[in-house]
């Protein structure tokens, strides 16, 4: 059983994870539109990961006997001029998500909701990885600047990213 406060906060964040998925889907198309097929793949994998994050919240709410509710969301941006701009936006967004996860964890502690604290732990760890990946790519992009060969090499690298679906039993 979850408190009303926790249920509302988890539902809200579930929708934010869905927004993340939509954001990266737009970035995937934007990267393709400016000729970076590899980066387009990287963002598509990111989209798939966000759908997993979204579903984790969805399944957790339902498993606690609460109703997961998908609501309206703002349209994510679809106008980007460079990979660097996309990655900087990605890092900024993930830093915001980290703050949301931290706030949710604070709330779960305050409410003495141990199950939700354990559920949120996975996301605390995941956010460290997300921010680390984004910072690494921003560093590489800054190093490359507008060197065509460098961008081509990085795009090839981003094209190798594969989505690893979670085991069927994981929620
Ligand atoms: Fe996420
Ligand atoms: Fe991730």
10-residue block means of pLDDT along the chain (171 residues)? 97 98 98 97 98 98 97 94 97 98 98 98 98 98 97 98 82 51
Q: Which pLDDT does position 166 carry in this prediction?
A: 84
Residues bordering ligand 2, an ion, CB closer than 5 Å: 49
Q: Which pLDDT does position 169 carry in this prediction?
A: 60
CA–CA distances in Å: residue 103 to residues 89, 96, 109, 155, 159: 21, 11, 10, 35, 34
Query: What is d(CA 51, CA 161) in angstroms, rounded to the nearest whole number?
Result: 17
Distance 149 CA to ligand 2 centre (A): 28
Distance 17 CA to ligand 1 centre (A): 5
Residues bordering ligand 1, an ion, CB closer than 5 Å: 17, 20, 50, 53
For the segment 134-144, what is each residue's pLDDT rounded down to a tens digit? 999 999 999 99
Distance 156 CA to ligand 1 centre (A): 24
Query: What is d(CA 18, CA 12) in angstroms, rounded to the nearest whole number?
Result: 10
Distance 49 CA to ligand 2 centre (A): 6
Residues 6+ apart with CB under 8 A from 104: 9, 10, 13, 116, 120
- Nearest ligand (C-alpha, residue 24): 1
Distance 145 CA to ligand 2 centre (A): 26
pTM: 0.95
Q: Which pLDDT does position 144 carry in this prediction?
A: 98
Distance 53 CA to ligand 1 centre (A): 5
- Nearest ligand (C-alpha, residue 95): 1
């Amino acid at each position: 059983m979850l408190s009303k406060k926790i249920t509302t906060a988890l539902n809200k964040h579930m929708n934010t994870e869905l927004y993340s998925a939509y954001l990266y889907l737009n970035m995937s198309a934007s990267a393709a539109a400016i000729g970076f097929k590899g980066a387009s793949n990287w963002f598509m994998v990111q989209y798939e990961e966000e759908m997993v994050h979204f579903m984790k919240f969805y399944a957790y709410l339902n498993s606690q006997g609460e109703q997961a509710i998908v609501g309206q969301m703002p349209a994510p941006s679809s106008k980007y001029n460079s990979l660097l701009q996309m990655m900087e936006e990605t890092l900024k967004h993930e830093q915001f998500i980290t703050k949301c996860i931290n706030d949710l964890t604070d709330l779960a502690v305050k409410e003495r909701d141990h199950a939700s604290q354990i559920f949120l732990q996975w996301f605390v760890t995941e956010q460290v990885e997300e921010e680390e990946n984004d910072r690494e790519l921003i560093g590489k992009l800054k190093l490359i600047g507008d060197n065509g060969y460098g961008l081509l090499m990085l795009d090839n690298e981003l094209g190798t990213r594969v989505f690893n679906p979670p085991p069927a039993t994981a929620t």
